[in-house]
Structure 1
Amino acid sequence: MNQTPVPGHGLHERFLTGLALSPGRTAIRVHATESLTYEQMHELAMRRAAALRAMAPQGPHNVAVLADKSLTAYVGIIAALYAGATVVPLNPRFPAERTRSMLIAANVSTVIADPIGRSSLAETELDLPVLDEGRTGPSLDTPVAVNPSDVAYVLFTSGSTGRPKGVPITHGANHHYFDLLDRRYDFSPDDVFCQNVGLNFDCAMFEMFCAWGNGAQVHPVPPAAHRDLPAFLAERKMTVWFSTPSGITFIRRMGGLTPGSMPTLRWTFFAGEALLHEDAADWHVAAPQSKIENLYGPTELTVTITGHRWSPKTTEEQTVNGGVPIGKVHPGHDHLLLDDDGESAVEGELCVAGPQMTPGYLDGDDNRGRFLEHAGRRWYRTGDRVRRLDDDELIYLGRMDAQVQIQGFRVELAEVDHVVRQCTGVQNAATVTRPAPNGGLELVLYYTGERIPSATLRRELAAHLPDPMVPKTFRHVPEFPLNSNRKVDRAQLAREAAALSDGRA
Structure 2
Amino acid sequence: MNETGTNVAAERFGRGRTASPDGDALRTADTTITYREMHETALRWAAALPQGRPGAPAVVGVLAGKTAPAYLGLLAALYSGATVVPLNPDFPVARLRRMLTLAGVSALVVDDIGRERLPGIFDGGEPLPVLDPARPPAGPGLGAPRPVCPADAAYILFTSGSTGNPKGVPISHASIGHYFGLLDQRYDFTPADVFSQTFDLNFDCAMFDLFCAWGAGATVQTIPPHEYRDLPRFLTDKRVTVWFSTPSAIALVRRLGGLGPGSMPGLRWSFFAGEALNCHDAEDWLAAAEKSTVENLYGPTELTVTITGYRWTPSTPEIAVNGLVPIGAMHPGHDHLLLGDGDVPDDVEGELCITGPQLTTGYLDPADDRGRFLDRDGARWYRTGDRVRLLPGGVLTYLGRLDNQVQVQGWRVELAEVDHALRSGTGVQDAVTVAVPVDGSTELVSFYTGEPVAASELARRLRDFLPHGMIPKAFVNVSEFPLNANRKVDRRALADIAARR
Q: TM-score, normalised by structure 2?
A: 0.97
Where 1:434 maps in the other structure, the secondary structure is strand
> Compared with structure 1, are the counterparts of its residues 131 and 58 closer, same or farther at alpha carbon in structure 2 (3 Å cutoff)?
farther
Q: Deviations over 1:238-270 (max 9, x none)?
A: 000000001101100111000110000000000
Which residue, 407, 430, 433 being the options, matches 1:431? Answer: 433
Deviation of 1:391 after TM superposition, in Å, equals 2.0
Matched residue, 1:282: 284
Matched residue, 1:128: 128
Give the whole-Å Cα distance in 1 for the aligned partners of 2:92 and 2:338. Answer: 38
Give the whole-Å Cα distance in 1 for the aligned partners of 2:436 and 2:341. Answer: 28
Matched residue, 1:86: 83
Q: Deviations over 1:359-383 (max 9, x none)?
A: 1000000001111111111111111
Q: Deviations over 1:92-137 (max 9, x none)?
A: 0111111111111111110000110111222122521111432210
Give the whole-Å Cα distance in 1 for the aligned partners of 2:322 and 2:50. Answer: 53
Matches of residues 134-283 of structure 1 in structure 2 within 5 Å? 134-283=136-285
Q: Deviations over 1:169-201 (max 9, x none)?
A: 000000000000000000001100011111100
Where 1:12 maps in the other structure, the secondary structure is helix
> Compared with structure 1, are the counterparts of its residues 58 and 6 closer, same or farther at alpha carbon in structure 2 (3 Å cutoff)?
closer
Matched residue, 1:331: 332
Matched residue, 1:102: 99
Deviation of 1:56 after TM superposition, in Å, equals 10
Deviation of 1:396 after TM superposition, in Å, equals 0.3
AA aligned to 2:131 is: L
Q: Is 1:340 the counterpart of 2:337 in the alignment?
A: no
Give the whole-Å Cα distance in 2 for the aligned partners of 1:212 and 1:104. Answer: 31
Where 2:416 maps in the other structure, the secondary structure is helix
Which residue, 33, 37, 40 being the options, matches 1:40? Answer: 37
Deviation of 1:12 after TM superposition, in Å, equals 2.0
Deviation of 1:60 after TM superposition, in Å, equals 2.7
Where 2:201 maps in the other structure, the secondary structure is coil
Matched residue, 2:470: 469
Q: Is 1:71 the counterpart of 2:68 in the alignment?
A: yes
| Root mean square deviation of aligned Cα | 1.4
Which residue, 107, 110, 114 being the options, matches 1:113? Answer: 110
Matched residue, 1:5: 4
Matched residue, 1:503: none
In structure 1, stretches of 5+ residues that fail to align are 501-505
Give the whole-Å Cα distance in 2 for the aligned partners of 1:135 and 1:433. Answer: 47
Matched residue, 1:29: 27
Identity among equivalent positions (%) equals 59
AA aligned to 2:9 is: L
> Compared with structure 1, are the counterparts of its residues 483 and 245 closer, same or farther at alpha carbon in structure 2 (3 Å cutoff)?
same
Q: Is 1:322 the counterpart of 2:323 in the alignment?
A: yes
> Compared with structure 1, are the counterparts of its residues 111 and 444 closer, same or farther at alpha carbon in structure 2 (3 Å cutoff)?
same
Question: Does the Cα contact within 8 Å between 2:443 and 2:473 map onto a contact in 1?
Answer: yes
AA aligned to 1:23 is: P
Deviates more, 1:114-123 or 1:56-65: 56-65
Give the whole-Å Cα distance in 2 for the aligned partners of 1:395 and 1:130. Answer: 45
Give the whole-Å Cα distance in 1 for the aligned partners of 2:108 and 2:208. Answer: 23
> Compared with structure 1, are the counterparts of its residues 56 and 331 closer, same or farther at alpha carbon in structure 2 (3 Å cutoff)?
closer
Give the whole-Å Cα distance in 1 for the aligned partners of 2:165 and 2:56. Answer: 29
Matched residue, 2:18: 20
Give the whole-Å Cα distance in 1 for the aligned partners of 2:194 and 2:226. Answer: 19
Deviates more, 1:363-372 or 1:113-122: 113-122
Deviation of 1:490 after TM superposition, in Å, equals 1.1
Deviation of 1:390 after TM superposition, in Å, equals 1.6
Q: Which aligned runs of 4 or more in structure 1 are off by greater than 3 angstroms? A: 53-59
In structure 2, stretches of 5+ residues that fail to align are none
Question: Does the Cα contact within 8 Å between 1:53 and 1:59 map onto a contact in 2?
Answer: no
AA aligned to 1:170 is: S
Give the whole-Å Cα distance in 1 for the aligned partners of 2:472 and 2:486. Answer: 27
